[in-house]
Structure 1
Amino acid sequence: MGGLLSILKGGAKEEEPIDIPLNFGAQPSGPEIEYYNAVAGLMRAAPGILNDLRSYSGCGEAIRQAISNPGKATEDAAWAVVCPAVAKLKDYYDFSCALGNAMGAHAGADQQAPVVSPTEQLFPRILSFLGNGDASQNFEQSQALARKLAEILDFATQFDNLKARSASQPAGQPATMSNPNVQNDFSYYRRTVSRMKMNNAQSVAVVSDEVANKMSLFFAHSNPVTKALIDSANVAVMSRTLSLGGATDVFSILAGVSYHMVAKGRAGNDSAFFLRVMVVSVLLYDHIDPAGAFIKNSKINIKASIKVIQSSGGSGADALLNALRFSTQHLNDETTPKAIKQMLAQ
């Protein structure tokens, strides 16, 4: 165990990424069972949400007709397709709330976060379970739960990539803008509801004004689910239910484990999964630690992470590297070594 702890502190010496050979097919046991079952139950909906978002074509044509040829027929037709679309968007938002307490995360800094259920606190509770005390030992003893944490992070990056990519935007381009279909549909819905209220027209709102405001903030972000997880982890650190060191240990261990799963050929057909988990672990670490993930004494070996993406990322390498380029917080800091900046230079 002492060797593992020394690795956690070895970033300045360009140590290999943290390696804890985990059996991600392990069955849950002991204290982890409660958390494992909660995640397993929640994540059953994840594949369906991703497939749904992947095929989300939007209501663009109906909306264009209603705007260019305003009238009862075209406006009623647009409203008829926009309402079911907004209901889908609410499902996406609700699922993200359950993962990372997005509702509390998007409250103003001077506002008190709303009281949430244990399910909505699931992500920070898992971080606390794995990060309090000896994090490396916790990972070794709770390998099934570690896999579920990886699945949450993988869902976050897949959802955000799909949301950010328009039908005409290649997968390798950075997620710098929202999916026009998602944003346009929701904007049209809100404008229509507002107009109906002004005209005292009868309408059945799909979501309340309060929820619509929160959804608007959520979908406006380029990486909404990752942002919700970052905010949730930050709240856990600020509330002292999890130490900053515990949080960074969790993400550095998960990044290192994912790296070795690919670099040492342990991943099998799951290389893309583990590379995504590695990258989103870097993002979370970089946003949570005030010094970021790129400094010389970071717990994550960024150079090794970039190299394994370049060598094993295949067609998805550009998207993963773009996440490090555009979605991290500290890459352009003066404390980031020039060699790392050069590796990520386009």
Structure 2
Amino acid sequence: ENALRSLLEALTSPPYAPTQHLEREQALAKQFAEILHFTLSFDELKVPPREPLGDRSPQWSPSPPPQLDAESEVNNEMANRMSLFYAEATPMLKTLSNATTKFVSETLPIEDTTDCLSTMACVCRVMLETPEYRSRFTNTETLLFCMRVMVGVIILYDHVHPVGAFAKTSKIDMKGCIKVLKDQPSTSTEGLLNALR
């Protein structure tokens, strides 16, 4: 949360416009993109809540909990926080959204942050839909990285902007972003499209 706050401060502070920040602070923008990529990757790996954990195998039987030494014991407060974290459908995204919302509520004007997020979404969309740029992606992991970053900034924008990302007045071309995702193989984008719903 603290790292995100520092990145957002650096990428949104005056006097520069969002595009200027992204050009001048490329390493910081890349770090922010890495956080978004990790967040969505982590949440994609989480077991869906509708899948019962105990029904994986008919021979499944519980094993005794591992014995912990005194140094690795988790106190009750930490155990409760961990339980609440993992109870969320998308725990990392929820944490990131809450941290961004907190940053925006403490940092005015909000437009500095939403402009940065919408600019990043636009850059990702253009990179994905323009054959010249897309041909530079040497592997599918780079393509997936770009799609995850685009979806991540859209979700954050939707959380912090007063009318959200799906409003007609939004600075994000949602139709274009969704079209770019739908044009990809469904196995790589199904989770990302679901995240936008």
With normalisation by structure 2, the TM-score equals 0.81
The 5 A counterparts of 1:250-289 are 250-265=116-131, 266-267=133-134, 268=137, 269=139, 270-289=142-161
The aligned counterpart of 1:317 is: 189
The aligned counterpart of 1:128 is: 9
Q: What fraction of aligned residue pairs are identical, expressed as a percent?
A: 37
For residues 163-206 of structure 1, what are the alpha-carbon distances to aligned partners after superposition, in whole Å with 9 as ceiling and x for unaligned? 134xxxxxxxxxx558848xxxxxx9xxx8xxxxxxxxxx8572
The aligned counterpart of 1:230 is: 97
The aligned counterpart of 2:170 is: 298
Q: Which secondary structure state, in structure 1, belongs to the residue aligned with residue 176 of structure 2?
A: helix
Q: RMSD of the TM alignment (CA)?
A: 2.5
For residues 97-128 of structure 1, what are the alpha-carbon distances to aligned partners after superposition, in whole Å with 9 as ceiling and x for unaligned? xxx2xxxxxxxxxxxxxxxxxxxx11011011
> 1: distance between equivalents of 2:153 and 2:185?
16
Which structure 1 residue ranges, 4+ long, deviate > 3 Å from structure 2? 176-181
> 1: distance between equivalents of 2:125 and 2:153?
11
Q: Is the 8 Å Cα contact of residues 285 and 293 (structure 1) preserved in structure 2?
A: yes
**1:179–1:279 CA distance, 2 compared to 1 (3 A):** farther
The amino acid across from 2:126 in the alignment is: H
Q: Which secondary structure state, in structure 2, belongs to the residue aligned with residue 236 of structure 1?
A: helix
> 1: distance between equivalents of 2:146 and 2:90?
19
The 5 A counterparts of 1:152-231 are 152-165=35-48, 177=50, 180=53, 204=70, 206-231=73-98
**1:153–1:179 CA distance, 2 compared to 1 (3 A):** farther
> 1: distance between equivalents of 2:160 and 2:172?
13
> 1: distance between equivalents of 2:96 and 2:192?
18
**1:145–1:306 CA distance, 2 compared to 1 (3 A):** same
Structure 2: tracts of 5 or more residues without a match: 55-61
Q: Is the 8 Å Cα contact of residues 254 and 281 (structure 1) preserved in structure 2?
A: yes
The 5 A counterparts of 1:231-246 are 231-240=98-107, 243-246=109-112
Structure 1: tracts of 5 or more residues without a match: 1-99, 101-120, 166-175, 182-187, 193-202, 326-346
Q: How many residues align?
A: 178
> 2: distance between equivalents of 1:150 and 1:321?
18
**1:285–1:293 CA distance, 2 compared to 1 (3 A):** same
**1:207–1:253 CA distance, 2 compared to 1 (3 A):** same
With normalisation by structure 1, the TM-score equals 0.48
Q: Is the 8 Å Cα contact of residues 261 and 271 (structure 1) preserved in structure 2?
A: no
